[in-house]
Amino acid sequence: RAHTRNLRRLMDERLPEHVVTLLRDIGDLGDELGYAVYVVGGFVRDLILRAEENLDVDVVIEGDGIRFAKALSKRWGARVRIHRKFCTAVVIFPDGFKIDVATARTEHYEYPAAMPIITLGSIRLDLLRRDFTVNALAIRLNRRSFGKVYDYFGGQRDLKEKIIRVLHSLSFVEDPTRAFRAIRFEQRFHFRIDSFTLNLIKNAVKKGFISKLSGKRVFNELYIIFSEPNQIGVLERMAELRVLQAVNPNLPPIDEMRRLFRNIRGVMAWYELLYREEPVEEWILYFLGFIDKLHDQQAKEFCEYLKITNHVMQKVQAARNGYKLIERPLYEKLPDLQNSDIYHVFHHLPIETILFWMAKTRQEFVKKAVSTYLSKLRDVKPEISGNDLIALGLRPGPLFQKLLVQVLDARLNGEVATKDQELELVKRLVLTVESPGKS
């Protein structure tokens, strides 16, 4: 019962006007070039689900996708990035909006978990290579049939019945990362994985397909999971299906991650409320919670396997050293911890490290210190600068830095509040220091 339903009305209702205009124009261009064109995948799924707006437009062309992308970009004054090897292109419009254009294709896998080999094909074959029925729907864009649904595998029924189902029994052999995707979609949409698919996942685990995946691909999946709202739900289900153990047998039971994950969520909610403008790589906090119970050596090996970038690795390492870098130095200054002490503990640390430790610590004085730092101290700076010191007749040198830090500390501790008071302080300090920098 392919192409019975028409979603033209739903599209007009749900999508921004500029997107509908663009989709219609894509259909018209298809007519001009003599190609059948479709929008496919998550875009169609989320449209039918009336889920949160998803404007990831994936277009599939029965014909030369690259030629189509070039013609489309010409019509709209857009840029185009071509991946000849995959017969795909990205069209980037002047306002930054992007769409993916692909040539209808089928993929063969030479052996499990290998990269696909591509040959040209029809929309049906293109949809057949996809992961789940709910992701294997297409909407035709050509003018005469604009809005027509192409549903070869029962995707509409499964959307209605809230089921994640593979298209065929070799699905996880072809691509074991689909096990992560199945669980992620199940948790995100509150669907359930059908029993046949569930058995295929268990089988893929048993046969070792998950553990054979490259770290890079596993990392990609973990990254997406930790960027979704219900990370712990996904992890629980992964543990239940033993996917998690296949990824890393040293990970502890989920029960031991739960407290930390809950705290991270609380800290993030608090932080976003207060300081929304500043970006945080939130997924790193959950990743840190995920590997928290691993020993240093295990964590190191796991990160190496996942091919974590240096930039992230630095944040991870700092956070794992939170006791040494944050908790102990603060503790040593008790009972009269000053704002300047707090400042110097935190100001060189990445925000992810600070927030993670706030979630992890059980010590009230640490939480209070983080809160003070972020709300009051982080942006404090002296009003005076090196030029003011020169104006006082001091010669630039190592003393400058020392004086400026002392002025900063005084400001943090509320001992000076104006530029004049800062200058007074400098004069006092210089008098008490026998300084070669003094002129």
- Per CB under 6 A, the segment of 28-36, 127-135, 145-153, 206-214 that binds ligand ATP is 127-135
Could you give the residue ranges of the DSSP H alpha helices within 34-64? Answer: 42-49
CA distances from 53 to 11, 14, 45, 47, 182 (A): 12, 8, 11, 8, 21
Q: Which listed residue (177, 263, 339, 361) binds ligand ATP by CB under 6 A?
A: 177
For ligand ATP (CB under 6 A), the number of binding residues is 12
Least distance to ligand ATP, CB of residue 295, Å = 32
CA distance 276 to 351: 13
Other CB atoms within 10 A of residue 258 CB: 14
Residue with Cβ nearer ligand ATP (135 or 231) = 135
Residue with Cβ nearer ligand ATP (54 or 435) = 54
Q: Which listed residue (178, 265, 315, 360) binds ligand ATP by CB under 6 A?
A: 178
Residue with Cβ nearer ligand ATP (48 or 423) = 48
Minimal CB distance to ligand ATP: which residue?
42
Backbone angles phi, psi at 82, to 5 degrees: -110, 135
CA distances from 383 to 148, 206, 235, 407, 437 (A): 65, 64, 49, 9, 21
Q: What is the number of helices (H) and of strands (E) in the chain?
A: 24, 11
> DSSP readout, 193-218?
E-HHHHHHHHHHHHTTTTTTS-HHHH
Q: Which listed residue (62, 151, 158, 175) binds ligand ATP by CB under 6 A?
A: 175
Q: Is 126 in the site for ligand ATP (CB under 6 A)?
A: no
Hey, what amino acid is at 92?
I
Q: Which listed residue (19, 37, 88, 130) binds ligand ATP by CB under 6 A?
A: 130
Q: Is 116 in the site for ligand ATP (CB under 6 A)?
A: no
**90 Cβ contact partners less than 8 Å away, ≥ 6 residues apart:** 69, 80, 81, 98, 99, 100, 101
**For residues 16-35, which are near ligand ATP according to CB under 6 A?**
none
Q: Name the residue among 408, 356, 375 with its Cα closest to residue 273.
A: 375
Least distance to ligand ATP, CB of residue 332, Å = 46
Least distance to ligand ATP, CB of residue 135, Å = 3
Q: Is 103 in the site for ligand ATP (CB under 6 A)?
A: no
CA distance 299 to 287: 11
Least distance to ligand ATP, CB of residue 17, Å = 22
Least distance to ligand ATP, CB of residue 87, Å = 15
Q: Is 186 in the site for ligand ATP (CB under 6 A)?
A: no
Least distance to ligand ATP, CB of residue 276, Å = 23
Least distance to ligand ATP, CB of residue 171, Å = 8
Burial of 426 (0-12, 13-18, 19+ CB in 10 A): buried
Residue appearing with tokens 């029993």: 195
Backbone angles phi, psi at 103, to 5 degrees: -90, 130
Residue with Cβ nearer ligand ATP (10 or 433) = 10
Q: Are 242 and 202 in contact (CB under 8 A)?
A: yes
CA distance 251 to 298: 9
Under DSSP, is residue 229 helix (H, G, I), strand (E, B) or coil?
A: coil
Least distance to ligand ATP, CB of residue 177, Å = 5
Residue appearing with tokens 């599209």: 11
Least distance to ligand ATP, CB of residue 68, Å = 18
CA distance 390 to 402: 14
Between strands 105-108 and 138-140, the pairing is: unpaired
Residue with Cβ nearer ligand ATP (152 or 271) = 152
- Per CB under 6 A, the segment of 142-150, 170-178, 269-277, 304-312 that binds ligand ATP is 170-178
Q: Is 133 in the site for ligand ATP (CB under 6 A)?
A: no
Q: Is 131 in the site for ligand ATP (CB under 6 A)?
A: yes
Pattern 46-85, binding to ligand ATP, x per CB under 6 A? --------x-x-x---------------------------
Residue with Cβ nearer ligand ATP (182 or 430) = 182
Q: Which listed residue (88, 135, 156, 353) binds ligand ATP by CB under 6 A?
A: 135
State yes or no: cis peptide before 350, omega within 30 of 0. no
CA distance 131 to 177: 10
Residue with Cβ nearer ligand ATP (160 or 428) = 160
Q: Provide the token pair at 340.
A: 């300047």
Q: Is 41 in the site for ligand ATP (CB under 6 A)?
A: yes
Interface residues toward ligand ATP, by CB under 6 A:
41-42, 54, 56, 58, 130-131, 135, 175, 177-178, 181
